[in-house]
A and B are shown apart, each in its own frame.
Chain A
């Protein structure tokens, strides 16, 4: 009875502001629900971030639909598991698996990459919002202490927060799969949930109990740190220290494996 030509979710995307685009998905900022209380000061309603896994012309339509659907579902499930395990992640606001759209909580804040002076990313990232690109172009040279001042924390404290969140995630047997400083945000202290380090983009996340997978996860972040943030060895040591503290007895095995991975790279076998 209610089927219309244009899907409601695609109509919503048309009215939304596109923020960035990668190979896999486009990112929009949208308002999903009309505001309930007109008397409230923020009468704009809550922003949501829409991650739209658009159709891939190079894939057979049937395969495309089933891949898209399972990836949206997989990302949503990983986020729910994180929420239940107390890992700071954005909440989910809507799912339209048929269209490949996942709506998640909008996080008021900036990426750790940006706050550490790594600049805003020019492609494929949800953390770089339009305002950041406009307003912050000139200030990328500014020292990270000044960027972080607004958040009332030092870089060392941020590293501790990262290590703690990663440990909580790994203790829940969730492997992120794409840990970079762009995929971590600091939630602004003035937002309702207060200052938090939030892990984002669970598009490559999966469940695993293997030491190997967790060690590789850490290794990928280590490499991301050294390539985006020059002379950051000291900072990353702070991440590992907090991770070690939170992981407790599980740490020794992961460290041993991490040392192996550092020697051989993230692929276990070089065959093929």
Chain B
């Protein structure tokens, strides 16, 4: 797990914990837990919501650490300015990642699905939350992996499809060079995420 600290952000949002899990076997269970947690009332509901208080992101759709950081950062900014489009800062990350404005589409595409096997788990908190990795491991059954592994997981075909990049001149220019293409796609996708709050 990696922890990033942003000293200029409000204290309770200043710390970002990111973990990549491979070989995840309980995706459908995670998904149904999140759904159930949102429907429970009373103290049980509070406890269950706290237990799954993370962003669960399909790692195949993330091009780079910068791509992920950009989405997380824009979500935190939105929370700090009281301009969230979704209910929580964690769901806002999924919204920022998706190129359209449709929230349920964002969650369906970028969130955890029953078939997900590689999962990025993000928790935004104050610097005082300590046992984050343990909290994550209680929810996710899988192999904790270094973030560097992301480059082997990215599903560039789906990324290009979701961002409608296949017909763009930028990609035609690098069609024969996949390393070059990944640089171009990563740049477009990261910039799109950064611009999400002002895109029409």
A-B contact count (CB 8 A): 119
| Least distance between B59 CB and chain A CB atoms (Å) | 15
Cα–Cα distance between A172 and B172 once the two chains are bound (Å): 14
Selected contact of A95 from candidates B5, B12, B69, B74, CB within 8 Å: B74
- Is B170 engaged at the interface, CB distance under 8 Å to the other chain? yes
- Chain A 68-83 interface mask (CB, 8 Å, partner B; 1/0): 0100110011011001
Q: Do residues B65 and A36 form an inter-chain contact, with CB atoms below 8 A? A: yes
Interface presence of B168 (CB below 8 A): yes
Alpha-carbon distance between A14 and B7 when the two chains are bound, in angstroms: 12
B165: nearest chain-A partner, CB-CB: A84
A179 to B127 alpha-carbon distance, docked (Å): 46
Known: A80-B192, A85-B170, A172-B169. A3 touches B198 (CB 8 A): no
Question: Is B35 close to A, CB under 8 A?
Answer: no
Does A59 make an interface contact (CB < 8 A)?
no
- A97–B183 contact, CB under 8 A? no
Q: Are B80 and A2 in contact (CB under 8 A)?
A: yes
A residues less than 8 Å from B6 (CB atoms):
8, 33-34
What total of chain B residues lie within 8 Å of the partner, measured CB to CB? 45
Tell me whether chain B's interface is mostly helix, strand or loop, or mixed: helix
Chain A contacts for B199, CB-based, 8 A: 73, 76-77, 80
The proximity string for A residues 9-49 relative to B, scoring 1 for CB distances below 8 Å and 0 otherwise, is 10110110000000000000000111011000000001000
User: Which residues of chain A from 104 to 153 have any CB-CB distance to chain B below 8 Å in the complex?
Assistant: 105
Instruction: Write out the residue numbers on chain A whose beta carbons fall within 8 Å of the beta carbon of B141.
Output: none
Q: From the candidates B4, B77, B82, B170, name the one contacting A34 in the complex (CB within 8 A).
A: B4
Query: Which chain A residues lie closer than 8 Å to B79 at the CB level?
Result: 1-2
User: In the docked arrangement, what's the CA distance between A86 and B167, Å?
Assistant: 12
A1 and B13 alpha carbons, distance in the complex (Å): 10
Query: Could you say which of A2, A72, A77, A85 has the most chain B C-beta atoms within 10 Å of its C-beta?
Result: A2
In the complex, the answer to whether B81 meets A3 with C-beta atoms within 8 Å is yes
